[in-house]
Amino acid sequence: MKLIEAIIKPFKLDEVKDALNEIGIEGITVSEVKGYGRQKGHTELYRGAEYVVDFIPKVKLEIAVADELVAKAVGTIEEIARTGRIGDGKIFILPLEDAVRIRTGEKGGEAI
């Protein structure tokens, strides 16, 4: 099993969620996060004053998947979330040692 963490632009969330559902991914955890990468934030104008926004709003997806679905899930996220502009995000793939479904006590792949 693997844990996929994807940081994407907020307006791409619904498209990514729908595409993942189509390939059989049933569970996703979504968090609103802020951060920056190479773009180092940006400047905005508010009431005539310019100020720097250091942290850009993003959405973080956490998805536990079986090993055989990892490549398909990552490819789907990458394809759907890409706009071609700076700040599209990142995808991280981490080993997932175990999982437990609290309601039933199922473990491992059966829990996800």
- Residues 21-78 pLDDT 10s: 999 998 999 999 998 887 666 666 667 777 677 788 899 999 999 999 999 999 999 9
Residue of 38 and 8 predicted with greater confidence: 8
- The predicted structure's pLDDT at residue 45: 67
Of 24, 100, 112, residue with least CA distance to 66: 112
Write the pLDDT tens digit of every residue in 16-32.
999 999 999 989 999 99
Domains present along the chain, CATH in parentheses:
2-111 (3.30.70.120)
| CB contact at 8 A, 20 and 73 | yes
- DSSP β-bridge partners for residue 58: 33
Q: Give CA torsion, residues 73, 76, 91, 98, to 10 deg.
A: -10
What pLDDT score was predicted for residue 44?
A: 63
